[in-house]
Amino acid sequence: MVLALSDEGADVVEPYVDEMGITVRVGAGSQAGGAFKIKGYPSSAVVNAEGKVIWQGHPSSLSKGTVEEALKGAKPRNTNVLAFTPQTAAEGRVAAHLKSVEQGKLGKTHAALAALASDAKATDGEKAAAAALSAEIEGHVGALLSQGERFVKSRDMLKAVLIYETVAKEFGAAQPGADAKSKLDAIKADEKLSKELAAAEAFEKTKDSAAKLKGAKARDKWAEFAQKYKGTRAGERATALSRPPKN
């Protein structure tokens, strides 16, 4: 995974990312410069599968061999927001559910664990492990829903909706699913938030069409978008894209 970091705020980083067409993940407001002892910019670091920094320097001097060395032993990344690695120790029948948690299959797993915890034939160890793993699942989903709320506050609607829709679909009528659906309904019922969501969705579509244009034509398209969705986060991003590049 490639991750770009900047110590500047999102208000500076986001317009730049849009303007330059950067497609890798970018983090704003990072404090990693001190930890990596950055002395000049641009600066890169390569971290291997064990989390160790194996190379650091100017990106132009990074070799293909160094990257290949860092990738040895790396596992494919699961992009499912529900997936996580549980800390609960395997105990009896609970062990069979650990893989499902790592794959993000939390809804059925949570229900199965609840049944196991109340099974008269289950050992005390299985019941304790089932309760512990259930608590981990609930904590993970709770953290996701809280993250969704933060995305809503920052008007990052697509990320918020992705979390809520994923949890709602996975858990259905169960409490986590009901909570997520309630948050989705609240967004749709709120005039300001629903406008933010519509603008965010339109922004993604406009990016595709604007990418086919060049220069003034692309800026005119963004200016039109900014006027239509004035007052939204997407509109603000479009305004930045509508400005001529600085010399």
The predicted structure's pLDDT at residue 143:
95
The predicted structure's pLDDT at residue 200:
95
* Residue 11: CA count within 13 A, CB half-sphere: 0
- Does this model's pTM top 0.85? My answer is no
Domain limits, the chain: 3-71, 92-189, 202-242
d(CA 231, CA 226): 9
Query: Which amino acid makes up residue 117?
Result: A
The predicted structure's pLDDT at residue 63:
83
Per-residue pLDDT tens, the chain, 247 aa: give them: 788 888 888 888 887 776 665 667 788 888 877 777 887 778 888 888 788 888 888 776 778 888 888 888 777 666 789 999 999 888 899 999 999 999 999 999 999 999 999 999 999 999 999 999 999 999 999 999 999 999 999 899 999 999 999 999 999 999 999 999 999 999 999 999 999 999 999 999 998 888 888 889 989 999 999 999 999 999 998 998 888 876 5
From the number of C-beta atoms within 10 Å of its C-beta (0-12, 13-18, 19+), residue 42 rates as: exposed
Instruction: Give Cβ neighbours of residue 178 (< 8 Å, ≥ 6 apart).
Output: 171
